[in-house]
A and B are shown apart, each in its own frame.
Chain A
């Protein structure tokens, strides 16, 4: 799959600008002084061994960690120049969608799953069109168009995950966060999701946490390597995987640990 950005040499606009981010679970610090810029309409991959804080970091970008007691984030996270830590959390999450590790469709019909975000946001237009559009964007429409009123649980794991992507896309977020979206899926389905991520770049900025370095190499434009809560290296994916600057990055991507 082609992963070069559409305009390779022009600097992309920055969607997320993170500076001096520290994150704590109670007394335990999980993210240390992290600085990162996430460019718009690109895929940024976060890699690193288990427990390195990459998921925690991803979840601070739409403040999913707010629900965890005694957790707190310090520093500055700017979304299009606005500080998200002081923003209304509901507004933030409508702009920054998320897809989780395990597919988590609601116990509702396929249609109602996709329409959920629109309904709670008080969308007044024609739901049918947007549901179809979202399912098409998630490359699921052809498979489910005749079964829209069926329970989402009737779908396979891969279809459920694409349904969750369609559900997130329905509210037209600027950013889509993907937390190991393919870890529970087979290679064929994984390829489908990587392909749809490629097409989504036109309209959406994506950040993906992955354990799978091939996936990071295939599907992302930029890669950030984290270790023990610190950002070790961040550059264009092709550079990071071919000529890593830090010896720890090299050790990780060549499979010497993690």
Chain B
């Protein structure tokens, strides 16, 4: 009996090991397939014009998406200005001040907000920032993205503040620092590396959002004339160009995908480099 049992146990072990390993490998390969395909197709289609020229009228080949690249950057700037401070403050409240019940409500709501489909956020921003003024605008798009930035920022802030050792807080308070002073001058700087990374991740996530922009920022074939006017963005351009019947548009959609990915990657690396040079935030 024990011999059969042993063989059974060992083979079950082997099967499960293989199964989990294959799944892990599958995930990694999916990611690399996407990346590889994007780099292959996008790299082929990318040229200098893409960064410097405006889109050509329908039917003409060539042109670029300079306006969409700048548009995406402007939208992200707005999202950061509107969403990050709110998320940061709420995260500080949760980690440092919040009582039990109220904190639970906020945390739960934040998670729910994180799960709200982006198209619904788009409708929300539409009814709040587009309908009253009767036209699409850059600000409305930034507002929609700003809402989406909040939940990740809140949770990242809260988590990294919790990771700051309590004896740092005590050290500052024992020197006569008020609670707020302690948080601002010791706790937040100690957690700044993690919090900034979380913020960046949230911005990277919304950089690729299309749905909330469709009826807030809309799109634009030209340079956007102002913050209260529609503006082009890379994801919406990808959406428009990918479903169009022109080969040259498909080519540009691939290029746009690659540029979007490149921007996110660049921001990530840049943030890491800055944190690394500052040196302190790693050790906590």
- A residues with a Cβ closer than 8 A to B are 62, 64, 67, 90-91, 93-94, 97-98, 100, 102, 104-108, 116-117, 120-121, 151, 153, 164, 167-168, 171
B167 touches A108 (CB 8 A): no
Other A-B pairs beyond A90-B178, A100-B174, A153-B280, 10, CB < 8 Å: A90-B176, A91-B176, A93-B174, A100-B167, A100-B170, A104-B165, A106-B171, A107-B284, A116-B175, A116-B185
* Chain A residues whose CB sits within 8 angstroms of the CB of B281 once the complex forms: 107
A171 touches B176 (CB 8 A): yes
Query: How many chain B residues have a CB neighbour from A under 8 Å?
Result: 23
Contact for B175 among A91, A97, A151, CB less than 8 A: A97
Distance to closest chain A CB from B93 (angstroms): 17
Complex Cα spacing A98 to B170, Å: 9
24 residue pairs of the A-B complex, CB under 8 angstroms, read A62-B174, A64-B170, A67-B169, A67-B170, A90-B178, A91-B176, A93-B176, A94-B175, A97-B174, A100-B167, A100-B174, A104-B165, A105-B171, A106-B171, A106-B189, A107-B168, A107-B283, A108-B189, A151-B283, A153-B280, A153-B283, A164-B171, A167-B171, A168-B175
A168 touches B174 (CB 8 A): yes
A100-B167, A120-B181 known; A106+B172 contact, CB < 8 A: yes
B191 nearest in chain A by CB position? A107
Q: Which among B186, B190, B281 has the greatest number of chain A C-beta atoms within 10 A? A: B186
* Chain B residues whose CB sits within 8 angstroms of the CB of A108 once the complex forms: 189, 280
Q: Is B177 an interface residue (CB 8 A)?
A: yes
Complex Cα spacing A90 to B181, Å: 11
Q: Is B279 an interface residue (CB 8 A)?
A: yes
Distance to closest chain B CB from A21 (angstroms): 20
Q: Which among A100, A104, A168 has the greatest number of chain B C-beta atoms within 10 A? A: A104
A107-B283, A108-B280, A151-B279 known; A117+B165 contact, CB < 8 A: no
